[in-house]
Amino acid sequence: MRCGLVGAGVGGLACAARLGAAGHRVTVLERGLAPGGKCGRVELGAGGERFAF
């Protein structure tokens, strides 16, 4: 079966991995520049402080 998932967050990637392991063809669509959804990091300040969330 061919499957399409919208969103490359933790849930979408976990779902894609399970479907792929079951033998399905999976396409993941993500509007952001990188996968991760709400998980990520932000660099602030002149010192390049990093905040992971």
Residue pLDDT, tens place only, 5-52: 999 999 999 999 999 999 999 999 999 888 888 777 677 777 777 766
Host domain of residue 45: 2-52
What pLDDT, on a 0 to 100 scale, did the predictor assign at position 28? 97
Output the pTM of the full model. 0.71
pLDDT band at 3, cuts 50/70/90? very high
26 vs 42: CA distance, rounded Å: 29
pLDDT at position 53: 66
Domain count of the chain? 1
Provide the pLDDT for residue 30: 93
